[in-house]
Amino acid sequence: MLEIMEPVETPTGPVSSTEWMDVAACAGHSDLFFAPFAERPEARVRREAAARVICQGCVGLSACRAYARGNRELGFWGGESESERAEAGFPPTTPIIGRKRVAEQRARDAMANAS
């Protein structure tokens, strides 16, 4: 006879602490850190360059980078783009389809937690 097992819950929250978000320099600038739908490559380069400037002066830079890597985040986090994190061995786990909605929701959640 087969034994019925209860499903194991998978964590849905962040893998690490988010306390650094309280001092993040990016608060209020989510438009620079998350790509709009159908963003052109040239616009992405300009947007990420502006985001990188904000990150350089942030006291939470290393914690933000570790958070993004550990949670396989979308967008620009801790001075790194998605592609830079992927090159470092931390690609996002979300499939390309639906990334916009996921990125928007994560941005809203992150900003809500930061305030």
pLDDT for 99 beyond 70: no
Nearest to 77 by CA among 96, 60, 94: 60
55 against 102, higher pLDDT: 55
Question: Which phi and psi (to 5°) does residue 33 adopt?
Answer: -100, -10
Residue with the two structure tokens 């090159």: 87
Nearest to 32 by CA among 19, 23, 44: 44
Please name the amino acid found at residue 41: P
- Residue 86, helix vs strand vs coil: helix
> What pLDDT score does 14 carry?
59
pLDDT for 12 beyond 60: no
* The token pair that represents 7 in the structure block: 């499903």
Q: What is this structure's pTM?
A: 0.67
> What pLDDT score does 115 carry?
66
Please name the amino acid found at residue 31: D
